[in-house]
Chain A
Amino acid sequence: MSLAAPKLPATRRRRLQMPVSVMIGLAVVVLMLAVALLAPWIAPTDPTNVASFDLMSAELPPAFMPDGDPAHWLGTDNQGRDLFSAILYGMRVSIAIGGGAVLVAASLGVVLGLLAGYFGGWVDIVIMRVGDVILSLPTILLALLVSGIARAVFPEAGTAQWAPVILIGAIAIHEWVQYARTVRAATMVEASKDYVRAARVIGLPPLHIMVRHILPNVMSPVMVIATINLAAAVLTEATLSFLGVGMPPTYPSLGTLIRIGNEFVFSGIWWIAVFPAVTLVVLVLAVNVVGDWLRDRFNPKLKGR
Chain B
Amino acid sequence: MKSAALSITDLTVDYPLADGSVITAVSGVNLEVAPGEIHALVGESGAGKTTIGNALMGLLQAPGRVAKGRIEIGGKPVDIRTGRTEGIVQGKDVGAIFQDPMTSLNPLFTVESQLGETMRHHLGLSRAEARQRSLELLRAVGIPEPERRLKSYPHQLSGGQRQRVVIAAALCCDPKLIIADEPTTALDVSVQAQILKLIRGLADERGVGILLVTHNMGVVAEVADRVTIMLKGQVVESGPVAQVLGAPQHPYAKALIGAVPRVDVKLPRLPVPAQESPGTAAAREQVRARMGGGDEAKAGVLSVDNLVVEYGTRGGLFGGGSRVFRAVKGVSFTVEPGEIFGLVGESGCGKTTVANTIAGLAKPTSGSVTLGGLPIGAKQGGLARKVLQMVFQDPYSALNPRLRVATAIAEPIAFYHLAATKVEAAEDAALLLEAVGLDRAAGARFPHAFSGGQRQRIAIARALAPRPRFLVCDEPTSSLDVSVQAQILNLLKDLRDLAGLSILFISHDLAVVRQMCDRIAVMKSGEIVEQAPTEELFAAPSHPYTRELLSLVPSLDKIAREPAPLGGAVG
Contact = CB atoms under 8 A, between A and B. Distances in A.
A298 interface: no
B209 to A, nearest CB: 20
B339 interface: no
Interface in B106-147: none
B248 to A, nearest CB: 24
A151 interface: no
Interface string B383-425: 0111011101110011111110000100110011000000000
Nearest to A203: B385
B398 A195 contact: yes
Interface residues on A, range: 20 to 34
Contacts of B18: 10, 13-14, 17
A6 B46 contact: yes
Given A125-B317, A203-B386, A217 B392 contact: no
Contacts of A2: 50, 99, 181-182, 185, 213
Interface of B is mostly: loop
B433 interface: no
A203 B377 CA distance: 8
Nearest to A1: B99
B386 A10 contact: no
A17 B18 CA distance: 10
B541 interface: no
Contacts of A17: 18
B272 to A, nearest CB: 23
Nearest to A213: B400
A51 interface: no
A14 B63 CA distance: 14
Interface string A1-30: 111111111100110010000000000000
A225 to B, nearest CB: 19
B23 interface: yes
A201 B385 contact: yes
B415 A204 contact: yes
Most buried by B among A7, A194, A200: A194
A202 B418 CA distance: 13
A193 B455 CA distance: 15
B291 to A, nearest CB: 16
Contact of A6 (B23, B408, B412): B23
Interface string B45-57: 0101011001000
Interface string B352-372: 000000011100000000000
A44 to B, nearest CB: 48
Nearest to A204: B415
A198 interface: yes
B462 interface: yes
A297 interface: no
A216 interface: yes
Interface in B285-317: 317
B400 A217 contact: yes
Nearest to B466: A202
A164 B365 CA distance: 54
Contacts of A200: 360-361
Interface string B445-466: 0000000000000010011011
Contact of A202 (B181, B185, B317, B386): B386
A160 to B, nearest CB: 43
Given A2-B182, A197-B361, A201-B385, A8 B17 contact: yes
Contacts of A204: 411-412, 415
Contacts of A125: 317
B34 interface: no
A18 B386 CA distance: 47
Interface string A223-235: 0000000000000
A40 B487 CA distance: 68
A217 to B, nearest CB: 6
A197 B415 contact: no
Contacts of B46: 6-7
Nearest to B98: A3
Contacts of A9: 17
Interface string A60-90: 0000000000000000000000000000000
Contacts of B462: 198
Interface in B9-34: 15, 17-19, 23, 25
Most buried by A among B25, B181, B384, B397: B397
A3 B99 contact: yes
B130 to A, nearest CB: 28
B386 A195 contact: no
B99 A6 contact: no
Nearest to A193: B397
A293 to B, nearest CB: 17
Contacts of A193: 397-398
B398 A203 contact: no
A67 to B, nearest CB: 55
B273 interface: no
B392 A197 contact: yes
Contacts of A213: 400, 403
A8 B15 contact: yes
A245 to B, nearest CB: 35
A2 B48 CA distance: 10
B397 A202 contact: no
Contacts of A7: 46
Given A125-B317, A193-B397, A202 B415 contact: yes
A193 B462 CA distance: 16
Contacts of A194: 392-394, 397-398, 459
B388 A201 contact: yes
Interface in A196-254: 196-204, 213, 216-217
A295 to B, nearest CB: 20
B392 A198 contact: yes
Given A6-B15, A201-B388, A201-B389, A195 B415 contact: no
B484 to A, nearest CB: 15
A93 B530 CA distance: 74
Given A2-B99, A195-B399, A217-B401, A203 B50 contact: no
Nearest to A10: B17
9 tightest Cβ-Cβ pairs between the two chains A and B: A203-B385, A194-B392, A194-B398, A5-B61, A193-B397, A216-B402, A195-B400, A202-B412, A2-B50
Interface of A: 1-10, 13-14, 17, 125, 129, 193-204, 213, 216-217
Interface of B: 15, 17-19, 23, 25, 46, 48, 50-51, 54, 60-61, 64, 98-99, 181-182, 185, 213, 317, 359-361, 377, 384-386, 388-390, 392-394, 397-403, 408, 411-412, 415-416, 459, 462-463, 465-466
15 contacts: A2-B50, A2-B185, A3-B181, A7-B46, A14-B18, A194-B393, A198-B390, A198-B398, A201-B361, A202-B415, A202-B465, A203-B377, A203-B384, A203-B386, A213-B403
Given A197-B359, A201-B389, 4 more contacts: A5-B60, A6-B25, A6-B48, A9-B17
